[in-house]
Amino acid sequence: MDNASNNNTLMVVIEEELTRRDIPFDHNASTNPVNQSALHAYARTLATDPVGQCCGIVSACHSSGQHRHRLQAVIQEGNSNGFWRGKLFDGKTMLPVVQLLRDCITRWSSTFNMVDRVLTLNPAIQSFLLETQNADISDLSIDAKDIDVLHDIHQVIEVPHVAQELLSSERAPTLSMALPAYEVLKGQWTQLQSTIWELSHYIGVGLDKLQQYINEGRKTRIYALSMIINPSIKLEWLKEHWEAEDVENAREWILQAMTSFLSQQVLTNSTAIASRSLSAGFGRMNNLKVTVRCSASSTSTASTVPPPPTIIISEPVIHSLTLETMEERIRKPILPLLPAQPAQLVANNSAPSTIPNAESDIYTCAPCF
């Protein structure tokens, strides 16, 4: 049975779908040889592992002190005589006098930092590799096509690098920013699938994994609670980016947490009663006439008993939150969506609360509700 017509129909449908996603495709390859040729050239360059080539260059330049010092000298000489003018992508005329960075599997963003540094110093690297005394490593030189592919890879991995730096802050809690950052990462990568369509498959693999994490994060109570008590997020952001079912779950979780906190505050009434009882017993104990012998003559004179110490019992603070006021407080954000110091976050919250100090954890401080 001849399926040629069915195959042609399928290719037309695929072409329409890829065109809708801004991915060049021609179901009749012979009519568009330029695009096909460029695609095959890109695939061949990608198969040579440009990132691996970067690792080889870095290893060679770090293999000896002479190599490191000579690369620094090449950079400085080019800066002095203006040799880099017109050869830099950002339009600058001088290169930074820095060393290449190694890739390390146990260090965050090390691959991005390595590629970024190689692209920055590429003119000096190529000059260094082409020197006569470096003939043994001259085969590590990369051409313009390799650089173009590296730029594309750099652009793709820059997005998670920025997200990682945001969430690695040491001066403010960042748990509430995790899922919003991943949502932005998802949107940026989705756009890059159309912009750098040659790498769309690899980006898609990352998107699938990222979406799995986001879906699991939406089902985790701690993420939802930390986001709602963040004055810059609250429920409004969740309603805009989450499914209705996930938003409702988050709303129930925060109301349960707030109700539990308020019930603990009400229990302080019984605590105050117990304190008063203990105080009365302590005063009675102090008032016992231990200096008087009861069996002695009633004419005996008792010594003066000093008054008992005064025990001050503070009244418990009862929060006047109701279900309606709780709903209002968790609904709208009151700060822009920017990471801030814990003290700043609390200080800008209009809700009456006991303000923790800057070192306390805003996400576990119940009065921040």
At 79, the amino acid letter reads N
Quote the pLDDT of residue 154: 94
Q: Residue 299: which residues within 8 A CB-CB, separation 6 or more?
A: none
Quote the pLDDT of residue 282: 63
Nearest Cα residue to 175 out of 362, 12, 11: 362
Arithmetic mean of pLDDT, 148-162: 94
For the stretch 270-306, pLDDT in tens is 556 666 666 666 667 667 666 655 555 444 444 454 5
Arithmetic mean of pLDDT, 348-359: 40
CA dihedral 167, 168, 170, 171 (to 10 degrees): -30
Nearest Cα residue to 57 out of 151, 141, 152: 141
For the stretch 198-227, pLDDT in tens is 999 999 999 999 999 999 999 989 999 999
Q: What is the largest CA-CA distance in the chain?
A: 130
Tokens 């203006």 map to which residue?
82
Buried b (16+ CB within 10 A) or exposed e, 103-141: beeeeebebbbbbbbbbbbbbbbbbbbeeeebeebeebb
Proportion of the chain above pLDDT 90, given as a percent: 35
Distance CA 351, CA 230 (A): 12
Distance CA 219, CA 217 (A): 5
Buried b (16+ CB within 10 A) or exposed e, 260-285: eebeeeeeeeeeeeeeeeebeeeeee
* pLDDT band at 348; cut points 50, 70, 90: very low
Nearest Cα residue to 339 out of 165, 177, 224: 177
* pLDDT band at 16; cut points 50, 70, 90: confident
In this prediction the pTM is 0.66
Helix (H) or strand (E) holding 287: none
Tokens 């306390």 map to which residue?
360
Cβ atoms within 10 A of the Cβ of 161, count? 17
Q: Residue 335: which residues within 8 A CB-CB, separation 6 or more?
A: 231, 232, 345, 348
